[in-house]
Amino acid sequence: MAFKLTHALVAAAALFSVATSQAQDFPNKPITVVVPFAAGGPTDTVARLVAQAMSANLKQTVLVENVGGAGGTVGAGRVARAPGDGYTLLLHHIGHSTAPSLYRKMAYSPTEDFEPIGLITDVPMTFVARKEFPAKNMQELIAYVKTNKDKVTYANAGIGSASHLCGMLFMSSIQTDLTTVPYKGTGPAMNDLLGGQVDFMCDQTTNTTSQIKGGKIKAYAVTTKTKVPSLSDLPTLDSAGVPGFEVAVWHGLYAAKGTPSAVVDRLNKSLQAALTDPTVKQRFADLGTEPVAQNRATPEALRAHLRREIDKWSPIIKKAGIYAD
Ligand code: ASP
């Protein structure tokens, strides 16, 4: 018995010292941030800004890898299966909390298979359409899509994406089903909107602001309860025909399960440094968002937020009857 106990203590001490030395020289090789959507879209934009600032702080290369598909669940699944050493991270959004309600079967658990590092931003969404879309305002858009529902096409980034959630809530609010066109991210969806191949979508300001300001697409409303200062001409959807409508896309950073807490702490410090970096703050402001307050950019705040969001969206998604098989 005594022998077994000594053995266990020695093994535990050895594990502890491996974890400590791993944490001490972390990071000693490049880190990969998996973005579960295509390059050029809003999650990718946020990730590239944050990765660059984290790289400066960590004095190590931080690469962004786009693993799009199935509304973010393919990329998240990749990180869930990665070694828990802090070298593979996931930068995801609200979809991490809605996927368990949208998918009947999941290959991973958003709450059990990741180590939260911190929240990053809350980004408003916008209703936008191709430049030649006939409706002049949100009321006209609603009337138009109701009478032309077999013709109108609606782009999204697949089931589980924010654009899908926003669109589904919209369709259920106006009780009209439209033809959806799924992409691996709203980066490529935006290209088709610009080219006029799809009619409209709901997407983050981080992807739509410059196209709206450049007059390349039409914008109708924002999805937050209050107006967005950088797009002050746009009404809220709540005031423009869909009372009660509210969605904002929060982003968070995660490591794979089992990442030592000292490594999570180091990553959190570098995330905090990135979020107070003046260049990052300015770019975020230009894109219609801002970094979260410091007390929300923590592992505890992200863990609690994720759970709250899962609980918030589950009944809404059930009520709207939107599922993937
Ligand atoms: N905006 C996308 C979404 O619909 C994701 C992306 O491409 O970043 O969730």
68 close to ligand 1 (CB < 6 Angstrom) = no
User: Is the sign of the CA dihedral 230, 235, 238, 241 positive or negative?
Assistant: negative
The reply to whether 136 and 217 lie within a common domain is yes
For ligand 1, the distance from its centroid to the CA atom of residue 298, given in whole angstroms, is: 23
Atom of ligand 1 nearest to the CA of 203: 1
DSSP assignment string, 257-271 = TT--HHHHHHHHHHH
186 close to ligand 1 (CB < 6 Angstrom) = yes
Mean pLDDT in the chain? 92
Instruction: Report residue 1 as tokens.
Output: 């018995």
Residue written as token pair 């981080």: 206
For ligand 1, the distance from its centroid to the CA atom of residue 11, given in whole angstroms, is: 45
Tell me the per-residue pLDDT of 121-163, one tens digit each, with 9 for 90 and over: 999 999 999 999 999 999 999 999 999 999 999 999 988 899 9
37 close to ligand 1 (CB < 6 Angstrom) = yes
Check if the beta carbon of residue 71 is closer than 8 Å to that of residue 163. Answer: no
pLDDT of residue 8: 58
Mean pLDDT in residue range 254-260: 97
Atom of ligand 1 nearest to the CA of 184: 7
Give, in degrees to the nearest 5, the angle at Cα 157 between 315 and 104.
Answer: 40
Instruction: Give the domain-ending residue among 203, 231, 259.
Output: 231
For ligand 1, the distance from its centroid to the CA atom of residue 61, given in whole angstroms, is: 25
Instruction: Give the domain-ending residue among 197, 231, 265.
Output: 231
The reply to whether 163 and 101 lie within a common domain is no
The reply to whether 78 and 168 lie within a common domain is no
CA distances from 157 to 73, 170, 180, 203 (A): 11, 16, 10, 9
Q: Categorize the per-residue pLDDT at 235 as very low, low, confident or very high, splitting at 50, 70 and 90.
A: very high
Based on C-alpha coordinates, what's the Rg of the chain? 21
247 close to ligand 1 (CB < 6 Angstrom) = no
Q: Can you give the residue range of the structural domain that contains 134?
A: 124-231
Residue type, 245: F
pLDDT of residue 317: 86
| Strand 114-130, strand 88-93: pairing | unpaired
Q: What does pTM read for this prediction?
A: 0.90
pLDDT of residue 6: 58
Check if the beta carbon of residue 168 is closer than 8 Å to that of residue 157. Answer: no
